[in-house]
Structure 1
Amino acid sequence: MQVIEEVLSRIVPTPEEEAKLREVEKELVARIRYEASQYDRRLYARLLGSASRGTWLRYQKDLDIFIFFPEEYSKEEMERIVTSIASRVLKGVEKRYAEHPYVRGEFRGYDVELVPCYAIKDTSYLKSAVDRTPFHNDYVKKRISSKENEVRLLKQFLKGIACYGAEAKVEGFSGYLCELLVIKFGSFIRVLEAAKHFKRGEVLSLRGDVDEKAVRRKFSSPLIFLDPVDENRNVAAA
């Protein structure tokens, strides 16, 4: 379809832009790992999010770097260390707050979020909501190959109708939810075709058969998509 090709030409990064992102990522992660090792050699950093999974939009220059801490660290210690690292690596550092603090700043023209999380074995050991993110990342990366542009199309479509973003001011679809929808249905067009038939309380899952009545008793959202890495979470709960 011509319109899809036109949209893709605007939202898919060029090979040069992709190479630049990887260059910046490599330098940034190396610097953060070095600074983290000055506190504790067990600390390590990873790029997560859409830049890691290859589903980022061309005009979005965002890098989400997670610093992993052993479980004995308190959230106060994590905040102090991450803030200190950010002050030495990033420009224009700002502290933000979610379940626990994280830091925003700029590095070589990219907006960076530096997020502390716990290095846990699996989601049964969750100590904070962000501890799920590495498992989300690994799950999607194993299944999204060759469908990255389908995710980009869905994100751009949702942006066009002001429904993209799970933050409070939007209460829409997160990037992770977009990726799961494409994994489930196979393409942007198939997501739209399926959505035509969604009813309030629609239950979606990538795990096979589920007890939909039990799921609806547990979650009251208009759309329910069970998190494949944590059955106690509804990804579609904005």
Structure 2
Amino acid sequence: MKKGVSVNGILESRVEKIKPSREVLDRVNGIYVEFKKELEGRIKKKGVEAEVFLGGSLAKGSLVKKDVYDVDVFVRFDKKYGDEGVSKLLGRLLGRGFKKVHGSRNYYQKMVDGVLIEVIPTIKIKKPEEAENVTDLSYSHVRYLVGKIGKDVRLKDDILLAKDFAHAQGVYGAESYINGFSGYALELLVVHYGGLVKLMKKIVGFDFKKRKLVIDPAKFYGSEAEIMAVINPSKKVGPVIMIDPTYKERNVVSGLSLDSLLRFQKVCKKFLANPSLKYFEMVELGDGFKGKDDYSIVVKTDKQAGNIAGTKSKKFFWFVLSRLGKEFVVRKSGFEYDDVKNKSRFYFRLGKKEDDLVKGPSVSDGKNAGRFRKVNSGRAKGFGRVFERDGYLYVKVSHTLNFDEWFERFLKVDKKVIGEMGVEEVVKG
């Protein structure tokens, strides 16, 4: 650790920078209170059996300073309205001016005095097993965390810092194109270990390549072996299993990938060794791709902005990498998705690939040998003549394309696949 620089000093400095002022918090809370009052009036007037409650960071006191604040408003409907019915009913209650957002259960958004109000329909349940959607557990999640934080208010700041730190390192978000920590997962981890620094030390000291980290905050189970035997196989493939303290059959971090976790672990180790504010500051991915062998492309899909478009773009990213690998050595790559512009940017560092010798069928295999000769004799730039060796056909492939030539060919040759993957725009960055 650098002399004169303490972890706590850095954390105290950072939290003051990212905490909204009392004035801002009062304004955001005021907007929520007014909105809740109006919505509850409509619910009562329509005779709908539902109640409104506040969720998200605002409810837990861990709101991070940002340009646009978002408020998660949950509406708990009686289960008689059904899984599909609650979204439609909420839409009718809200009226015009709200944007419908498609998800596992549709919800609604509206900007109110510079604050983004997100209204999420849920079903009122008595037992977690009755949940038809993960959002139905939100009420229990908020109650659990508010109760825990109420016993140690210092955890509010640590939760805020944990999210800030994870976001800066690109591992905040359970979306499929991120495979990181959800907000709820980070909140639980900080609460369980008693603070951010203690969480970091646990992560740094654990060997995730050898075994899984198993956490059961509510102590539902008697042992790790019992957890591994009971939890659904699809929910325990990741490096961490953390049992939801409000629902014993759910793994809160099932979407966290080993790659994201190891990245988080690596930076935690660096931060604890040499505390610095730089670990809380976003680094532009493009800043690491400014050399003569670096390239980028910008991609837009025809999918809804957010997790759907981001996941589709990430899938296309892997496809592009596989195609690039046939012509170049891909030394480094990067992916980023902007959910505001609904566009992705792919980064690559490319190197020269050595010539390949492609082995074909046996000369005695008349039909396939004929096809191999025909296909390769008409191949584009880079393919040599077909020749025989030890009873087999071969063709030498020289990798002579530059990136611009490769890109032009890629758009032409893979035009059909690009369309089928829902990509409507691909341009060089």
Question: With structure 1 as the length reference, what TM-score do the two structures score?
Answer: 0.92
Alignment check: 8 A CA contact 2:51 2:77 kept: yes
Residue among 40, 51, 56 paired with 2:63: 56
Please give the residue correspondences for 1:65-144 in structure 2 after superposition, counting only pairs within 5 Å. 65-88=73-96, 91=97, 93-144=98-149
CA positional deviation for 1:172: 0.8
Contact 1:66 1:114 in 2 (8 A): yes
- Quote the offset at 1:41 in angstroms: 4.3
Summarize deviations over 1:104-157 as a string: whole Å, max 9, x none. Answer: 221221112111111112313222221101000000000013110010111111
Q: Cα–Cα, structure 1 residues 79 and 207, in superposed 2: closer, same or farther, change >3 Å?
A: closer
Say if 2:83 and 2:132, in contact at 8 Å, map to a contact too: no
Corresponding position of 1:202: 213
Among 231, 234, 238, the residue aligned to 1:221:
238
Residue identity over aligned pairs, in percent, reads 23
Q: Secondary structure at the match of 1:72?
A: helix
Give the distance between the partners of 2:226 and 2:126, measured in 1 at CA.
Answer: 28
Do the aligned residues in 2 keep the contact of 1:201 with 1:220 (CA within 8 Å)?
no
Tell me the distance in 2 between the aligned counterparts of 1:76 and 1:229: 24
Q: Residues of 2 paired with 1:104 and 1:204: CA distance?
A: 35
**Cα drift, residue 49 of structure 1:** 1.4
8 Å CA contact 1:33–1:45 kept in 2: the answer is yes
Question: Which residue does the alignment assign to 2:408?
Answer: none
Indicate the SS of the match to 1:85: helix
1:180 aligned to 2:188? yes
Amino acid at match of 1:204: I
> After the TM superposition, which of the residue ranges 222-231 and 9-18 deviates more from structure 2?
9-18
Q: Which residue of 1 aligns with 2:43?
A: 36
Q: CA RMSD in A?
A: 1.7
Distance 1:164 1:37, change over 3 A: same
2:253 aligned with 1:236: yes
Q: Would you identify which runs of 4 or more consecutive aligned residues in structure 1 move more than 4 Å?
A: none
2:380 corresponding residue in structure 1: none
Q: CA deviation at 1:204?
A: 1.0
- AA partner of residue 24 (structure 1): I
For 2:89, the aligned partner's letter is I
The one-letter code matched in structure 1 to 2:114 is G
Query: Is the 8 Å Cα contact of residues 86 and 114 (structure 1) preserved in structure 2?
Result: no
Aligned to 1:65, the other structure's residue is in SS state strand
Structure 2 distance, partners of 1:48, 1:7, is 25
- For residue 42 of structure 1, report the CA deviation from its aligned partner: 2.1
- The correspondence of residues 149-160 of structure 1 with structure 2, limited to 5 A, is 149-160=157-168
Cα deviations across residues 159-211 of structure 1 (Å, max 9, x unaligned)?
Answer: 11001111222221111111111111111111100111232421012123642
Which of 12, 18, 27 is 1:11 aligned to? 18
Which letter does structure 2 place at the counterpart of 1:164?
Answer: Y
Query: TM-score, normalised to structure 2's length?
Result: 0.52
Per the TM alignment, residue 214 of structure 1 is displaced from its structure 2 partner at its CA by 3.3
Structure 1 residue runs without a partner (length 5+) = none
CA distance in 1, matches of 2:78, 2:145: 24
Which amino acid in 1 is paired with 2:132?
Answer: K
**Larger gyration radius, structure 1 or structure 2:** 2
C-alpha distance in 1 between matches for 2:42 and 2:29: 20
Aligned with 1:29: secondary structure?
helix
CA contact (8 A) 1:70 1:119 kept: yes
- The aligned amino acid for 2:226 is A
Could you list the per-position Cα deviations for residues 10-45 of structure 1 after superposition, in whole angstroms to 9, with x for gaps in the alignment? 211211112112211110111111122232242221
Name the structure 1 match of 2:198.
Answer: 190
Specify the SS of the correspondent of 1:168: coil
Instruction: Provide the rounded CA distance (Å) in 2 between the counterparts of 1:79 and 1:124.
Output: 21
Gaps of 5+ in 2: 1-7, 256-429
